[in-house]
Amino acid sequence: MAYSDKVMDHYENPRNVGTMDKEDKDVGTGMVGAPACGDVMKLQIKVSDDGVIEDAKFKTYGCGSAIASSSLLTEWVKGKTLDEASEIKNSDIAEELALPPVKVHCSVLAEDAIKAAIKDFQDKQ
């Protein structure tokens, strides 16, 4: 499988790898996918009092495209409001990373992850 330069870049130098305290009231956690399907993404966001995403961290078990999709997502959501972040579309991620059709599901998973993280944060408030 040939990967685009952008996928390779994120795969080799993943941004914002890490974990936040999921009990923290300001933190929203989204975990999507399943090991048997070959990918699991965990995305965490830290939201400021005025509803802006201050920080984002991820961990991903999955192929290079899954790792790149989640790494890119953490870059994109930082500084966005929750409303703005929830508007990120999987097709934007797929386009930015030049994902081939068989890898589009990785970008879908990333979109699911940010939606799940936002929902988790909102449920806590």
Q: Closer CB to other proteins, residue 41 or residue 53?
A: 41
Neighbouring C-beta atoms of residue 69, cutoff 10 Å = 33
Is 112 an interacting residue with respect to other proteins (CB under 8 A)? yes
Beta bridge partners of 74: none
Is 114 an interacting residue with respect to other proteins (CB under 8 A)? no
Which tokens go with 124? Answer: 């806590």
Q: How far apart are CA 28 and CA 19, in angstroms?
A: 11
User: What is the nearest approach in angstroms of other proteins to the Cβ of residue 55?
Assistant: 17
Is 67 an interacting residue with respect to other proteins (CB under 8 A)? yes
Is 116 an interacting residue with respect to other proteins (CB under 8 A)? yes
Instruction: Single out the residue of 4, 15, 61, 78 in contact with other proteins (rule: CB under 8 A).
Output: 61
Q: How far apart are CA 33 and CA 24, in angstroms?
A: 23
Query: Dihedrals φ, ψ of 110, to 5°?
Result: -65, -40
Which tokens go with 63? Answer: 């192929």
Is 63 an active-site residue? Answer: no
Interaction site with other proteins (CB under 8 A):
1, 3, 11, 14, 17, 19, 31-42, 59-64, 66-67, 101-102, 105, 108-109, 112, 116
Indicate which residues carry an active-site annotation.
37, 106
